[in-house]
Amino acid sequence: MEAFFVSIGTIAIAEIGDRTQLLSLILAARYRRPLPIIAGIVCATLANHTVAGLAGRWFGALLKPDVLMIAVGAGMIAMALWTLKPDQLDEQSVPSGAANAFVATLTSFFLAEIGDKTQIATLALAAAYPSLAAVVSGTTLGMLAANVPVVILGKAFAARLPIKPIHYAASALFLILGAVFLARALWH
């Protein structure tokens, strides 16, 4: 259960102000069809985070437990620093001529998530926790917790969020998680 809840919280907070959240806002404004957009986000996130989780499991199997905890802890601290840099998204990167909102969301969201901090966090979480299903389902729910309100409420919701304090909170969460993993490695 720890893996599931840590995954939800980590991704939900880290996703606020992230480029994929900005993409959700652009898709919602362009297509004005929330259900296909949400379905596209679910499918793209499941696919992307499953691949990241499998990669994390593979890396986790290669490393000794203490080395793995140090690597995950250092990775989380690096994510804390990365979170302080706000993302931007060029509206031109969103396909405008797509046949429907689902396909446009699925493809653009999957591609935008490649190399994104939430994908890398998923990789690190999957390396650290034994339950791949708990990590992937948690990261997917965290992604939905951050993106569904944006898709449904659009700019009215996004404009009212205090993005800078949220980035600081996300950074602090990654820093705390990094410290916990480092402490586990040192006192194991």
pLDDT, tens digit only, all 188 positions of the chain: 899 999 999 899 888 777 788 788 888 877 888 999 999 999 999 999 999 999 999 988 887 777 777 877 787 787 777 767 765 545 555 554 445 889 989 998 898 888 788 888 899 899 989 999 999 999 999 999 999 998 998 766 555 656 677 667 767 877 887 788 788 778 86
Q: How far is CA 78 from the centre of its chain?
A: 15
Name the DSSP class of 41: H
**Could you give phi then psi for residue 187, rounded to 5 degrees?**
-105, 15
Q: Is the dihedral of CA 13, 18, 23, 28 positive or negative?
A: positive
List Cβ neighbours of 79 (8 Å cut-off, separation of 6 or more). Answer: 14, 117, 120, 121, 124, 174, 178
Q: Which residue has the tokens 């190399």?
A: 115
User: pTM of the full predicted structure?
Assistant: 0.72
Contact 53, 11 (CB under 8 A): no
CA-to-CA dists, residue 44 to 36, 37, 98, 183, angstroms: 12, 10, 16, 34
As a whole number of angstroms, the distance between CA 78 and CA 21 comes to: 21
Q: Which residue has the tokens 């493809």?
A: 107
List Cβ neighbours of 2 (8 Å cut-off, separation of 6 or more). Answer: 129
Q: How many CB atoms lie within 10 A of CB 96?
A: 8
Residue 51's pLDDT is what?
95
Q: Which residue has the tokens 């699925």?
A: 106
> Where exactly are the structural domains of the chain?
2-186
